[in-house]
């Protein structure tokens, strides 16, 4: 319960639907794990044995193509729920892009708990529908947007999904460290690494962002960046 009472994402994660006594019961089932960057938590194709809340850090969802290449199909941020409750097989690898902290539950224990707590099942449904909406937006991003629109949308999405270090404000952050290399960003957005680098430089020249280091992004003109992202 100590972990639950001090959890920085408790009011944002799926357990926010529960009362404190219910959170206490759920917390007794949970186990906290620290992952280092590059460590895989869940493997594609394996039995669905665990689910988890992300407390800190960023993870990727990926799948292996027939030729052995990896395709990143999603990104998971603090307060997100990962794993496949009520399922039999996992559909993606879940791997830490940064050092991460997750609270894991046995899938069978979590399923039984959710079935007896309709509020939690309702929250899971809400999350599933929100993920479906994000997937539809992602299809639009990949299929219809220009390179500038894709990258602007991507940067804004990251800034909106990340949690501030003090967690006192749920608003978007203005500066963050990219957990991806530029080649990974290019793969996610269906672009070349050269295009990603050029567009980032364009945004920098236009005064929309600052890039104090290769991984650090600071948003200087959010309205301008949103104007590009919403041009599609």
Q: What is the pLDDT of residue 94?
A: 93
Q: What are phi and psi of 105, to 5 degrees?
A: -135, 145
Q: What is the pLDDT of residue 198?
A: 96
Residues 129 and 184 in one domain: no
Residues 12 and 32 in one domain: yes
Residues 105 and 182 in one domain: no
Which of 137, 169, 197 finishes a domain? Answer: 137
Can you give the pLDDT of all 232 residues of the chain as single tens digits? Answer: 456 777 778 778 888 878 888 888 888 888 989 999 999 999 988 888 899 999 988 899 888 888 887 888 888 888 888 888 777 788 889 999 889 999 999 988 888 888 888 888 888 888 888 878 877 776 766 677 899 999 998 999 888 887 554 444 556 778 888 888 888 888 888 889 999 999 999 999 999 999 998 889 999 999 999 999 886 5
Q: Which of 50, 57, 41, 51 is nearest to 9 (CA)?
A: 57
For residue 132, give the CATH number of its domain.
2.60.120.10
Q: Which of 75, 98, 63, 232 is nearest to 159 (CA)?
A: 75
Which of 112, 137, 162 finishes a domain? Answer: 137
Range of the domain at 215: 145-229
pTM for the model stands at 0.78
Residues 177 and 109 in one domain: no
Count: domains in the chain: 2
Residues 97 and 153 in one domain: no
Q: What is the pLDDT of residue 221?
A: 95
Helices of type H across 58-217: 107-115, 118-144, 147-161, 182-189, 193-205
Which of 108, 137, 166 finishes a domain? Answer: 137
Residues 116 and 161 in one domain: no
Q: What's the token pair of residue 41?
A: 């938590």
Integer Cα distance of 230 and 232 in angstroms: 5
């Amino acid at each position: 319960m100590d972990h639950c009472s001090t959890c920085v994402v408790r009011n944002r994660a799926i357990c926010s639907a529960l009362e404190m006594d219910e959170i206490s019961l759920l917390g007794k089932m949970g186990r906290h794990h620290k992952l280092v960057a590059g460590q895989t938590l869940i493997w594609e194709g394996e039995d669905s044995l665990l689910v988890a809340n992300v407390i800190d850090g960023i993870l990727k969802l990926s799948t292996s193509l027939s030729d052995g290449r990896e395709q990143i199909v999603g990104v998971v941020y603090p307060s997100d729920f990962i794993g496949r409750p009520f399922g039999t097989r996992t559909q993606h690898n879940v791997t830490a892009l940064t050092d991460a902290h997750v609270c894991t539950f046995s899938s069978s224990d979590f399923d039984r708990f959710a079935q007896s707590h309709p509020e939690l099942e309702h929250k899971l449904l809400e999350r599933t529908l929100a993920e479906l909406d994000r997937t539809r937006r992602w299809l639009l991003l990949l299929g219809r947007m220009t390179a500038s629109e894709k990258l602007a949308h991507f940067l804004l999405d990251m800034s909106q999904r990340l949690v501030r270090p003090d967690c006192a404000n749920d608003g978007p952050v203005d500066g963050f460290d990219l957990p991806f290399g530029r080649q990974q960003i290019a793969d996610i957005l269906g672009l070349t690494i050269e295009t990603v680098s050029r567009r980032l430089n364009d945004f920098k020249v236009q005064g929309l962002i600052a890039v104090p280091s290769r991984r650090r992004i600071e948003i200087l003109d959010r309205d301008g960046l949103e104007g590009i992202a919403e041009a599609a």
